[in-house]
Amino acid sequence: MEKGNTALILNPFLEGMREAGAEVELFYTRKLNIKPCTGELDCWIKTPGECYQKDDMQMLLPKMCEADVMVFATPVYVDGVTGPMKNLIDRMIPCVGHLVELRDGHCRHPLREGAKSSKVVLVSNCSFWEMDNFDPLLAYMKAFCKNGSHEFAGALLRPHGVAMLPMLEMGASLDDLFEAAKEAGRELVEDGEMSTETLGIISRELMPLELCMQFANQQFQQALDAL
Ligand SMILES: Cc1cc2nc3c(=O)[nH]c(=O)nc-3n(C[C@H](O)[C@H](O)[C@H](O)COP(=O)(O)O)c2cc1C
């Protein structure tokens, strides 16, 4: 959560948004009680727009329906989002209606009245070195946006993100990364979009591939040796 690698990028990003005048609310999925969707689709049939399950989604969904921007921050977990984040996304189904319509030549469900189309930003980090480790997650978030009538506004991606904390402990400066994350937040609020240049700084190489692998293996070995 607040001490994780994702937070290292998310926090300055939100700070930049706040500084540019956005009203920001932050929720940690792990702290929320969000039960998995059980698939009855009562929210489409018996009680349109409302899930039969009574939990923190009752508080969260109205906020999400009103938001101009939704920021989904998650580490890569087996090429996707974390379990609690997936539960949250599945439980957003009441935001759309049951009807199937053609949008840009593709089957979609229309947004329910009262639900708003928002900009969506992904903030993520992963342990592996390559940028393509984000490809499945990016494809998923873009599909989620298309299905939910949202606009995918871009992603702050940090490959070999696990290297950040040890590097900071060893005295390396990652200020350019954190400053770029803050700048991305400012850009999003002030310009409505984030520049490729700014996002590129956040994803920049921290160390060569071979060193990164060596470093990761050493860290695990040290943890094993400490048992
Ligand atoms: C269950 C699990 C699955 C993971 N899957 C991947 C993965 O598919 N690819 C990857 O590069 N890193 C993977 N990781 C590593 C995390 O993305 C990485 O440790 C990240 O820095 C954690 O972020 P956090 O500190 O914000 O939780 C996985 C970690 C866990 C615990």
For ligand 1, atom 30: residue with the closest CA: 77
183 Cα to the center of ligand 1, angstroms: 25
Distance 50 CA to ligand 1 centre (A): 33
* Ligand 1: centre distance to CA 150 (Å): 26
CA of 161 to the centre of ligand 1 (A): 9
Q: In a 3-state reduction of DSSP, which class is residue 107?
A: strand
pLDDT (tens digit, 9 = 90+) per residue, 203-222? Answer: 999 999 999 999 899 989 99
pLDDT of residue 145: 97
| pLDDT score recorded for residue 48 | 95
- The answer to whether the predicted template modeling score (pTM) of the entire model surpasses 0.85 is yes
Two structure tokens written together for 189: 């609020």
The H or E element spanning position 200 is helix 196-202
Pocket of ligand 1 (CB under 6 A): 4-6, 75-79, 125-128, 133, 161-162
